[in-house]
Amino acid sequence: MSSIPADLKYLDSHEWARLESDGTVTIGISDHAQGALGDLVFVEVPEVGKTLSKGGAAAVVESVKAASDVYSPVSGEVIAANESLGSSPELVNQDPYGNGWLFKLKPSNKAELEQLLDAKGYEKALEAEGH
């Protein structure tokens, strides 16, 4: 069973979002997603300053096997991207909820966070997928 921290919000496409105390939102992919992809070898993060919309393609994670789009769980402006993934994409496998974060947004509409799945909802979504 993969880890699903209770304090995060999720998309059923396996992204997580964390509302930080300064009002920004950090985004990454779930433990289940990194396990399903296998060893990551390339991560393309969005440029700082780019405006993303909820559900839009924001980043790409590639494992040895395949490339996958990462969707933004909320709308907003990119204020930081995890540049260490350029040389160490394996951080996403090792620590998907910590050092393997992908990017940070300044959300344009915080209410969108409430529309995301909570940990229980994401766990149910995984079960429905047959995991």
Q: Which residues bind other proteins (CB under 8 A)?
A: 38-39, 41-42, 44, 60, 62-67, 86
Cα distance between residue 125 and residue 119, in whole Å: 10
As measured in angstroms, the least distance from the Cβ of 90 to other proteins is: 9
Q: Who contacts 74 (Cβ-Cβ below 8 Å, separation ≥6)?
A: 17, 25, 54, 105, 107, 109, 110, 112, 113, 116
The minimum distance between CB 19 and other proteins, in angstroms, equals 30
- CB of 39 vs other proteins, minimal distance in Å: 4
Pick 25 or 61: Cβ nearer other proteins: 61
Complex with other proteins: residue 9 or 32, whichever CB lies closer: 32
Query: Which three-class secondary structure state does DSSP give residue 111?
Result: helix
